[in-house]
């Protein structure tokens, strides 16, 4: 989470200096935090967009009877029982962080549209992508290359592909 945040801060700083004032910290003695309904709506929208990005990278998500998008008190989730390759699983895992916390700040910065709320939302996405990055590290370290993933409930399993079945030699 810390590395994600530092990387996003580096991207933000390329276009617009990031300061603690963007977070409502004006001095070490004064912290002002103003949250209005628009900010809450933007945060909920961010969670939805983050999870929607995961969703659109799942193969055939529009026609799948095994793929779902939801939200709980603890955050959003995408759930799919579809079998996906390791490379696709990695893409699904990385996509929200890369798109919302690396590419989006570059685009907004180039257009001069980085305001404090956008910066905070970008950093919140980077921080919340920490779980995705932990998943990525575990997959890269523990899972062989030629596998596919599938989920059953809250558990995700991988299985080595059978080259004689897949037609690859």
- Cα 62 to Cα 77, 80, 89, 94: the distances in Å are 16, 12, 17, 20
Q: Which whole number is the average pLDDT over 14-23?
A: 82
| pLDDT bucket at 165, cuts 50 / 70 / 90 | very low
**Tell me: the pLDDT tens digits for 61-106?**
999 999 998 878 877 889 899 999 999 999 999 999 999 999 999 9
pLDDT at site 143: 95
- Cα 118 to Cα 8, 31, 84, 87: the distances in Å are 12, 19, 33, 30
Contact between 136 and 98 under an 8 Å Cβ cutoff? The reply is no
The full set of domain ranges for the chain reads 2-166
Q: Token match 């700040």: residue? A: 105
Q: Which pair of tokens denotes residue 148?
A: 């596919």
Percentage of the chain with pLDDT > 90? 69
């Amino acid at each position: 989470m810390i590395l994600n945040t530092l990387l996003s801060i580096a991207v933000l700083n390329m276009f617009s200096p990031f300061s603690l004032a963007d977070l409502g910290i004006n001095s070490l003695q004064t912290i002002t935090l103003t949250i209005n309904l628009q900010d809450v709506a933007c945060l909920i929208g961010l969670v939805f967009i983050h999870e929607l990005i995961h969703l659109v990278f799942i193969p055939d998500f529009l026609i799948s009877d095994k793929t779902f998008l939801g939200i709980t008190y603890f955050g959003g989730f995408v759930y799919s029982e579809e079998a996906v390759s390791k490379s696709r699983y990695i893409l699904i895992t990385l996509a929200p962080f890369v798109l919302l916390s690396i590419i989006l700040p570059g685009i907004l910065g180039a257009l001069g549209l980085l305001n404090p709320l956008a910066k905070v939302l970008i950093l919140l996405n980077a921080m919340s992508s920490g779980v995705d990055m932990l998943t990525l590290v575990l997959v890269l370290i523990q899972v062989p290359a030629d596998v596919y993933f599938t989920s059953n409930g809250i558990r995700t399993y991988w299985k080595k592909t059978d080259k004689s079945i897949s037609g690859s030699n």
